[in-house]
């Protein structure tokens, strides 16, 4: 009964072996059972969601847990694409997310580089402002944001949707930290060779910052794709509705009669696909990037 195999008898209690083992590191059967049960609880809702998207309304109501639609039906999806503005919402979300992500990554790396490398009067102040902004809770800014957007005359326009989201203090913070971690010697060489600051930033430093750029891209994409409250306070017209706002409207029954759960769940599932794809593509990076976030 060493701490080796998968013996279920609590290996934690095995007497310490006078070897080089760092304690009982093997995994007991109990642990696996607990993990599998938890994993089922975490995954089942999404499986049920996908299955329900292909159910009829009646089937969804009576067999809510079943993972097999009976009968199999694409009626919900058809209704979603033909009788609602879902495609328009999707397109709006895509455009806004794309512009916001590109803007955020560019501006965050510019500012992050300046804060990490360039010496200029007011640098400390800018940095303090960025850190201060990060600590302001987003929901507190709902009304303030609307006031300014309204005052600037960009309410209910793409400008009002995109501009306020273009800058993200957390992104600046991540880029600054990353730039500080790479040695300055390469840039100095280029500077001696007479390259301008932007040139150095663009063609030398930025390519080296790929890991941080990917992190900021993921965060920006996920953040703007999933953003709801900003679009509630910045838009009004149906033409400018994004996915989150549109689907939230569906959920509260503004556009549909009855429960229509298959339709709503299909909409929710479809809007999850882009972030899910991003997540699975960059899975390793996401799982590790949070390591950096803790130590910040």
Partner 1 sequence: MSTTSTTTGPAGPVTTRPRRSAARSGEAVSGWLFTAPVVVLLGLFLGVPVLMALWVSVSDWTGRGSPFSAGVHFVGARNYSELLTGGGLATQDFGTALKNNAWYVVVVVPVQTALSLVLAVLVNQAALRGRGFFRTAFYFPSVTSSVAITVLWLFLFSASGAVNQVLGWVGINGPNWFNDPTGVLHALLKALGVQDGPAALTDHRLLGVTWWDWLGGPSVAMSAFIVMAVFTTSGTFMLLFVAALQNLSGEVTEAAVMDGANGWQRFWRITLPQLRPTLFTVLTLGLIGTWQVFDQIYTGTQGAPGKTTLTPAYLSYQTSFVNQEWGQGAAIAFILFVIIVVLTLFQRWLLRERSERRPRPVRRASERGTR
Least distance in angstroms from the C-beta of 252 to partner 1:
7
What residues between 7 and 36 interact with partner 1 by CB under 8 A? 10, 12-13, 15-16, 21-27, 31, 34-35
Size of the site for partner 1 (CB under 8 A): 108
Q: Which of residues 221-240 bind partner 1 (CB under 8 A)?
A: 222, 225-226, 228-229, 232-233
Binding to partner 1 by residue 190, rule CB under 8 A? no
What track of x and - describes contact with partner 1 for positions 53 through 92 (by CB under 8 A)? Answer: -------xxx-xx---------------------------
**Residue 272 vs residues 49, 89, 93: alpha-carbon distances, Å:** 11, 13, 12
Instruction: Tell me: does residue 121 bind partner 1 (CB under 8 A).
Output: yes
Is residue 148 a contact residue for partner 1 (CB under 8 A)? yes
* CA–CA dist 42, 163 (Å, integer): 36
CB of 96 to partner 1, least distance (A): 14
Among residues 77 and 271, whose Cβ is nearest to partner 1? 271
Q: How far is the CB of 207 from partner 1 (least distance, A)?
A: 17
Q: Among candidates 237, 241, 212, which has minimal Cα distance to 227?
A: 241
Task: Please report, as residue ranges, which positions from 242 to 261 form the binding site for partner 1 (by CB under 8 A).
Answer: 243-244, 247-248, 250-252, 259, 261
Give the span between the Cα atoms of 215 and 290, in whole angstroms: 9
When binding is defined by CB under 8 A, the residue of 130, 206, 212, 213 that contacts partner 1 is 130
Q: How far apart are CA 227 and CA 165, in angstroms?
A: 10
Taking alpha carbons only, the member of 171, 168, 158, 157 closest to residue 99 is 158
Q: For 159-185, b where at least 16 C-beta lie within 10 A, e where not — what string?
A: ebbbbbbbbbbbbbbbbbbbbeeeeee
Under the binding rule (CB under 8 A), the answer on residue 141 touching partner 1 is: yes
Q: Are 149 and 236 in contact (CB under 8 A)?
A: no
Closest approach, Cβ 24 to partner 1, in A, equals 7
Q: In angstroms, how far is the first alpha carbon of the chain from the final one?
A: 43
Could you give the C-alpha distances from 31 to 21, 47, 58, 287, in angstroms and in order?
Answer: 20, 24, 39, 22
- Asked if residue 170 binds partner 1 (CB under 8 A), the reply is no
């Amino acid at each position: 009964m060493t701490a080796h195999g998968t013996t279920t008898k609590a290996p934690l209690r095995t007497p310490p072996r006078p070897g080089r083992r760092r304690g009982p590191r093997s995994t007991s059967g109990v642990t696996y059972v607990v993990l599998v049960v938890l994993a089922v609880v975490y995954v089942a809702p999404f499986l049920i969601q996908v299955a329900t998207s292909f159910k009829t309304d009646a089937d969804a109501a009576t067999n809510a847990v079943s993972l097999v639609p009976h009968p199999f039906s694409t009626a919900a999806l058809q209704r979603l694409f033909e009788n609602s503005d879902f495609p328009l919402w999707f397109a709006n979300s895509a455009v806004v997310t794309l512009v916001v992500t590109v803007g955020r990554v560019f501006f965050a790396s510019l500012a992050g580089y300046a804060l990490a490398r360039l010496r200029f009067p007011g640098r400390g102040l800018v940095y303090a402002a960025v850190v201060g902004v990060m600590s302001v809770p987003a929901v507190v800014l709902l009304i303030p944001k609307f006031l300014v957007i309204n005052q600037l005359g960009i309410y209910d326009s793409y400008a009002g949707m995109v501009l306020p989201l273009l800058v993200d203090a957390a992104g600046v913070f991540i880029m600054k930290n990353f730039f500080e971690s790479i040695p300055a010697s390469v840039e100095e060489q280029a500077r001696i060779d007479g390259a301008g600051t932007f040139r150095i930033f663009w063609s030398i430093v930025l390519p080296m910052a790929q890991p941080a750029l990917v992190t900021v891209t993921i965060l920006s994409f996920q953040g703007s794709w999933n953003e709801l409250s900003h679009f509630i306070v910045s838009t009004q017209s149906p033409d400018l509705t994004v996915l989150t706002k549109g689907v939230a409207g569906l959920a509260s029954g503004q556009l549909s009669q009855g429960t229509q759960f298959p339709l709503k769940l299909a909409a929710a599932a479809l809007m999850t696909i882009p972030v899910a794809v991003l997540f699975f593509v960059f899975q390793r990076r996401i799982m590790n990037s949070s390591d950096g976030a803790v130590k910040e």
